[in-house]
Copies of this chain bind each other. A is one copy, B any other.
Amino acid sequence: MHRILALTTLLLPAHAFAAPMRSPAEIVAQAPDTAWRSVAPEHLLIMKLADGKRIVIELAPDFAPIHVANIIRLTRSNQWDGGAITRVQDNYVVQWRVHDEAAPLPEGFVAHPPAEYERPLDGLTYVRLPYPDPYAEQSGIASGWLVGREGARIWPTQCYGVVGVGRDMPPDTGDGRELYVVNGEAPRQLDRNLAVVGRVLAGMEYLGALPRGTGALGFYTDERQNVPIVSIKLAADLPSAQRPVMQVMRIESQSFRDYLAARAARQDPFFIKPAHGVALCNVPVPAREK
């Protein structure tokens, strides 16, 4: 009988024993406080649109430090205030710009940053995603960011909610005064072609629902269609009562391991046939506002 049991065990897929029965959302909701890290307010942008709509963006200084420093300088010199969202292309990107592209550049601004498109893995915590990736030798999560990997090099990937720097033709790499966020199926053909500077942690539902532009590339055809940006501020510069406390799940936590396993093989009751695999951009690192 033991023998038969052992044989049955071999025939059953591993997840029948080990995998969580909770949904990813349940795992996230039940994660203990120790599974979360708070984002430094020096790396959080608070974007305000009309009607109190607020978008919170975590910056990515580990990946594009010079571009991120430029964006912080623009923020501290109030150059986003009165800016505008000028482009919304369905299933691609939402793009915005500073108030006045002819305004003097802030002190220390790097007019022609290098192409900060990839970096060595060195020094970052890394969790490999054990599924094939059509865009990279390997993919995973490095210090909380979804990345592609080739040898010892990694790059942040262009997933839903990821913020990047608009640029003209190469070798121009953009200076940070035009930013975009991905609003559809991950355009990962952009990986290593544009600098990733952050990701939306809250408020993506406002950017996702903006009217699509009818001009070429989704630009609005009339300035009156532009969506005004009331302001973009660094959380560190706000009075502490107004600072959101944003937390991102620690990738080294058991909750994150459970979340990854559940995303890749849904065992919760709605699912008949778990996939046993998942695309990188379909495992966004969970975030919450405390």
Contacts and interface: CB of A to CB of B under 8 A. Distances in A.
Interface string A176-191: 0000000111111101
Nearest to A192: B273
Interface stretch (A55-63, A95-103, A132-140, A237-245): A132-140
Interface residues of A, number: 49
B132 A189 contact: no
A88 to B, nearest CB: 8
Contact of A210 (B169, B209, B263): B209
Contacts of A212: 205, 208-209
Contacts of A131: 134
B132 A208 contact: no
A272 B115 CA distance: 10
Interface in A236-290: 263, 266, 269-275, 277-282
Interface in A202-216: 204-205, 208-212
A188 B135 contact: no
Contacts of A219: none
B282 A191 contact: no
A91 interface: yes
B277 A91 contact: no
Contact of A189 (B117, B192, B210, B278): B278
